[in-house]
Homo-oligomer: A and B are copies of this chain.
Amino acid sequence: VKLIGMLDSPYVRRVAICMKLAKLDFEHEATSVFRHYDAFRQINPVVKAPTLVLDDGQSLMDSTLILGYLGLLEGAGERLRSFRLTALALAACEKSVQIIYERNLRPVEKQHQPWVDRVHQQLSAAYGELEAALAAQPFSDDPASLSQAAVTVAVSWHFTQRMLPEVVVARDHPGLAAFSAHAERLPVFLATPHG
């Protein structure tokens, strides 16, 4: 199978890392929904990353549905907590992407501050909830028990810190910053770098 998309997308990166942790064989194609729009369109006309292309040519998109299809969505642990943390991290990714798109995909005179303010508040709330959840019950530090939720939280935080470090301040989120630093030093994260 092929995983299509750039690793500077947290959605692509979470799938890639979870597939590697599960020792699923795949080929990664770093095709960009922006720089290689026409090439991406040949693979998936909806032009959304990640896209998983199966050996029979059928394709599947949406990182959560891809992980679900591969049987990687649910860990051995508590399903509600796992899904809650995943949803918070995905909301944080979405709100980060909305701010990045507002800044990068439209000229300054088309940017709309009330929209950015709203999204910023939602983004801060998502990371605030995640920080509180990790303070109450940290992720295991054992690389062998790295869950899908932990991967998604780590990838999300790293993405936002790389792209919007002044928007979500690391020193206000010591639990997330520490877990991210731990995760980004693991071989599977180092082998699947952002960007």
User: A: which residues have CB within 8 A of B?
Assistant: 41, 45-48, 54, 58-62, 64-65, 68-69, 73-74, 79-80, 83-84, 86-88, 90-91, 105-107, 109-112, 114-115, 121-122, 125-126, 128-129
Contact = CB atoms under 8 A, between A and B. Distances in A.
A151 to B, nearest CB: 15
A65 B87 contact: yes
Contact of A115 (B69, B90, B106, B109): B106
A137 to B, nearest CB: 13
Assembly stoichiometry (copies): 2
24 contacts: A45-B129, A46-B91, A46-B125, A47-B121, A58-B84, A60-B80, A60-B83, A61-B88, A61-B91, A62-B64, A62-B83, A62-B91, A64-B64, A64-B68, A65-B86, A65-B87, A65-B90, A68-B73, A68-B83, A69-B79, A105-B115, A107-B112, A109-B109, A110-B112
B80 A48 contact: no
Nearest to A47: B122
A54 B80 contact: yes
Contacts of A114: 106
A46 B126 contact: yes
A58 B78 CA distance: 13
A168 B131 CA distance: 42
A64 B91 CA distance: 13
A110 to B, nearest CB: 4
A131 to B, nearest CB: 12
A46 B112 contact: no
B115 A45 contact: no
A193 to B, nearest CB: 26
A41 B114 CA distance: 17
